[in-house]
Amino acid sequence: MTKNERMKEQILRTSGVNPLKCMRCGKCSGTCPSYDEMEYHPHQFVYMVETGDIEPLLASKSLYKCLSCFACVDRCPRSVEPAKLVEALRLMVIRQQGANHFKADDIPALVDEEIPQQLLVSALRKYSK
């Protein structure tokens, strides 16, 4: 089993998503509020995981542009759940030593009085392992 096959298997197991159900209608990407900011769109995440093209996704800033709003999940007629794939890919990146997107020392520069505390706690839980 190749490295990409192992990564694909881990992503599918973590997410619980079956990308083979995707019929490539694009409704997930059409409803994504972050579409314009993303290098790879929800339907592309599904396809790339399905084909085992994982490495570009792991290096993409699109992982962090996803709002995890689950609009793509609600819109999918086949219940593919692209947001769960994105979350599984984020977890894979986080688990790689030294690959965290946020470090605790980076956060003070990003904080202002308008930011809710829940956002900070969520960011630290998600990105500091």
pLDDT, tens digit only, all 129 positions of the chain: 898 899 999 999 999 999 999 999 999 999 999 999 999 999 999 999 999 999 999 999 999 899 999 999 999 999 999 999 999 999 898 887 565 556 677 777 878 888 787 777 776 666 544
Q: Which of 65, 55, 73 is nearest to 15 (CA)?
A: 73
Domain identity same for 59 and 120: no
Length of the chain: 129
Domain identity same for 71 and 116: no
Domain identity same for 14 and 51: yes
Long-range interactions of 108-112: CB distance < 8 A, separation 24+: none
Domain identity same for 50 and 109: no
Number of domains comprising the chain: 2
- Each residue of 1-14: b (16+ CB within 10 Å) or e? eeeeeebbebbbeb
Domain identity same for 76 and 120: no
82-95 helix and 3-15 helix, angle to the nearest 10 degrees: 120
Give CA–CA dist 39/129, Å, rounded. Answer: 25
Domain identity same for 129 and 82: no
Question: Residue 10: which domain range?
Answer: 3-96
Domain identity same for 57 and 114: no
